Amino acid sequence: MKEFDIGYPHSGSTRIIKPDSRSIKNKLIAWGLDESYYDGKRENGYGGFHYDGRWGTIMPSIIKKYELDDNSSVLDLGCKKGFFLHDLKQALPEIKIKGVENHYYPIEQAMESVKEDLILCPYEMLPFEDNSFDFVMAFASIYMLNFGDVLSALREIQRVGKGKSYVTLGAYRTKEEKELFLEWTLLGTTVLHEDEWLEVFKETGYTGEYFFSSAKSLHLVRD
């Protein structure tokens, strides 16, 4: 178990957090987890969640690091519209994939290339046998759960995987970082100190890799 940056190409520009830049109204709209969050106004979510091929730019390194090939099986927990799985299938056409989402809209709007492999299911109750997947990805999904469900989801990732997994988590090291992250996030529910996440890993038995999504990594600064 170690921290690792998978190299997802976020914008490197500074994000200015202004007073009330994310109001309770914005959060209420975002938690609908529907068109308004994915494809509506930027202040309520993604502001248009469209395929741009960015996963494809780092897919060769992911395949190499996690030793994936056409005989592998991969689970994407919190797959959204299937962009990661689409780019994975482009690189390894015969690989076996499954995507899980806990709300319907992104599955309904998913890429046709992977849509039949996506299912609606709680992250904390996965309908798969033990040791089903060679690699489990949970990118920007677990931290939206409440604390109890986060524990269950990490245990499920450990159960259905074969030891290789990658999760991103909302985290902070200072009080200022915590405040900035919570002011910025629309869905972040379980946001812990980095040391607390390490305790969570011990409790749940999670042994895969992780990355702390934080005010620092997201380049958040106060106006």
Tokens of 157: 């990732």
At residue 8, the pLDDT reads 92
At residue 20, the pLDDT reads 76
Better pLDDT: 13 or 146: 146
In a domain, 2, yes or no: no
Tokens of 110: 């998913």
List pLDDT tens digits, range 109-140.
Answer: 999 999 999 999 999 999 999 999 999 999 99
In a domain, 186, yes or no: yes
In a domain, 67, yes or no: yes
Instruction: Supply the CATH number for residue 94's domain.
Output: 3.40.50.150
H or E element that contains 175 = helix 175-184
What domain count does the chain have? Answer: 1
In a domain, 5, yes or no: no
58 burial (CB, 10 Å; 0-12 / 13-18 / 19+) is: middle
In a domain, 131, yes or no: yes
In a domain, 166, yes or no: yes
List pLDDT tens digits, range 57-80.
Answer: 999 999 999 999 999 999 999 999
CB 144 within 8 A of CB 129: no
At residue 223, the pLDDT reads 82
pLDDT bucket at 9, cuts 50 / 70 / 90 = confident
In a domain, 4, yes or no: no
List pLDDT tens digits, range 149-193.
Answer: 999 999 999 999 999 999 999 999 999 999 999 999 999 999 999
At residue 206, the pLDDT reads 98
The single residue listed with the structure tokens 């900035």 is 180
In a domain, 173, yes or no: yes
Range of the domain at 99: 15-222
